[in-house]
Structure 1
Amino acid sequence: MHVGLGLPISDPAALLDWARRADAGPFRTLGLLDRLVYDNPEPLVALAMVAGATSRVHVQTEVLLAPLRDPALLAKQAATLDRMSGGRLVLGLGVGGRADDHLASGTDLRTRGRRMDEQLAIMRRLWAGEPYSAECGPIGPAPLRPEGPEILFGGFQPAALDRVGRWGGGFLAAAAPSWAGSLFDAVRRSWKDNGRAGEPRIVAQINVALGPEEVSDDARAAMGAYYEFSGRADVMLAGMLTTPTEIRTALAEFDGLGADEVMFYCYGRDADQVDRLADVVS
């Protein structure tokens, strides 16, 4: 089972330090979340910088809010990053649920799921080299694979889980081990029901803060502000893991559930967490 790091969003300039440390350590992936109406770096731009500062780790959106974006431009951006990073892009996608993001992008919150399915069909066509339409030609560059970068789908609703089977790729689960197992099972059923060969890739995510008390305080403040809109910030904060024992226990539980990778999502800015988490993994 691989382990990756979700990068903190509160200090974009520090991300390259995080990235270089992670590239030298045991981590497979560096992830970055997406919002529009929030003080966070745009993930494709930021991850392009991260990819350029590293040589080994994958760069992953978790999750990119696809319905906020034009599908042709998104296909071009993703293919460009895929090619220039040597195939290290993992495109985690979700529909988003915050009304302000959709207001700012001029998209309809009510139709976001249908819009993402339409986007996926367009992007897959473009990545395969087909014309955009009868009046408009192909859009390059071509990604390294005709089907495009690896795609993960995030979400909890049945329609979101079923996308994994319908479109292929894998599942990104921001859920504790205690209830992630049922989500994994639903995704695997969708995979088989849609006649997919092999198994879907399962990526879990847990929130961590490892270090002195000020590291945990910084992480809680940043995470609480991020989830304030939901009215469930206290629940999310209660699930943050802050000791090596807690983190190792969660890793063992996800391994038992058959996860392929676990992302340690960090809201605290202290880059020394990279080294502390590397020690936990080792």
Structure 2
Amino acid sequence: MNVGIGLPIGAPDTLLTWARRADAGPFSTMGLLDRLVYDNPEPLVALAFLAGATSRIRIQTEVLLAPLRDTALMAKQAATLDRMTGGRLVLGLGIGGREDDHQVTGIDKRTRGLRLDEQMAVMRRLWSGEPYGEGVGPIGPAPARSGGPEVLFGGYRPAALERVARWGDGFLSAAAPSKAGGLFDTVRMFWKQHGRGGEPRLVAQVNVALGPQDVIDDARASAHAYYTFTGMADRMVAGMLTTPHEIRDAIVGFTDLGADEVMLYCHGLDPDQVDRLADISA
């Protein structure tokens, strides 16, 4: 089982320490969340900076809110980052749910799913080297990976799960093991219905905090603030794993469900968590 680590968004100036420690450890991937109207670093910019300070670990958006972005520019940014990191980019994409994020970008929240489908059609075409459209040539550079970087989609509804089969390479689940199995099965079903070969890549994400009580309290407070807009912040915080035993059990549980990777997402700012998590993930 590959185990990745999600980086906290509360202190961008500490992320270099997190990234270097993660790159030196057993972790397969480091991820970063995306919001617009929030005090967080922009993920593509931040991950580009961190990629330059690392050599091995993959970089992943969890998830980039694609409908808020210009399609052609996003395709160019992703291809550039994938090319310059030697194919280390994993582009996790989602539609977002905050009214204020959509308000400031002028994007209609009601049509964000349709917009993402349209964006994927354009980006797949551009990443393959085809022209943007009539009278407009290709937009380079070519990504390191033929056809574009690996794309994962997050979400829970059937439309999001089917999008994995239509446009993606895999699925990013933020559900607990008790619910993730059903989502994984649905993704696999759509994958077969669309005639896709092989298997979709399945990635699970779980919120964790490991360390003294002040580290756990910091993580819970940060996660509660982040998830307040969902109306389920208390439940999300209650599901945070805070002991080695809980984290190991989650990794085993997702392994049993057929997950290819588990992302241990940290909301607390203490970078020593990287080393503590490495000890139970190796």
TM, length-normalised to structure 2: 0.99
Contact 1:209 1:267 in 2 (8 A): yes
Provide the secondary structure at the position in 1 that maps to 2:172: strand
**Contact preservation (8 Å) 1:34, 1:65:** yes
Conserved? CA contact 1:205–1:262, under 8 Å: yes
User: Separation in 2 of the partners of 1:230 and 1:46?
Assistant: 25
Partners in 1 of 2:68 and 2:192 — Cα distance? 30
Q: After TM superposition, list the pairs within 5 Å mapping 1:43-62 onto structure 2.
A: 43-62=43-62
Alignment check: 8 A CA contact 1:152 1:171 kept: yes
State the 1:230 CA deviation: 1.6
In structure 1, the partner of 2:110 is 110
Q: Distance in 1 between matches of 2:188 and 2:260?
A: 13
Query: Could you say which residue in structure 2 is the equivalent of 1:188?
Result: 188
User: Retained in 1: the 8 A contact 2:204–2:254?
Assistant: yes
Deviations 1:55-110 (A, max 9, x none): 00000001000000011000000000001111000000000111110001110100
Deviation at 1:145, TM superposition (A): 2.6
| Comparing 265-274 and 140-149, the one that deviates more | 140-149
1: CA distance between counterparts of 2:46 and 2:174? 21
User: What is the deviation of 1:254?
Assistant: 0.4
Secondary structure of the equivalent of 1:227? helix
| Displacement after TM superposition at 1:229 (Å) | 1.4
SS of aligned partner of 2:27: coil
Secondary structure at the aligned position of 1:115 is classed as helix
Q: Which amino acid is the alignment partner of residue 233 of structure 1?
A: A
Distance in 2 between residues matched to 1:168 and 1:41, nearest whole Å: 25
Q: Deviations over 1:155-180 (max 9, x none)?
A: 00000000111113000000100110
Match of 1:169 in 2: 169
Counterpart for residue 37 of structure 1: 37
In the alignment, does 2:148 pair up with 1:157? no
Pair 1:78-2:78 in alignment: yes
Question: Do residues 134 (structure 1) and 131 (structure 2) align?
Answer: no
Deviations 1:115-149 (A, max 9, x none): 00000000011111111111211111111133100
Deviations 1:208-233 (A, max 9, x none): 00000000010011001011112211
Q: Give unmatched runs, 5+ long, in structure 2.
A: none
Task: Supply the AA of the counterpart residue of 1:254.
Answer: F
State the secondary structure of the residue aligned to 2:249.
Answer: helix
User: Does residue 63 of structure 1 match 2:51?
Assistant: no
**Deviation of the 1:152 alpha carbon:** 0.2
Q: Does 1:10 align with 2:10?
A: yes
* Residues 91 and 151, structure 1, Cα contact 8 Å, conserved in 2: yes
| Unpaired runs of at least 5, structure 1 | none
CA contact (8 A) 1:168 1:196 kept: no
Partner of 2:88: 88
Show the counterpart of 2:22: 22
Amino acid corresponding to residue 48 of structure 1 in structure 2: A
- Any runs of at least 4 consecutive aligned residues in structure 1 with deviations exceeding 3 A, and if so which? none
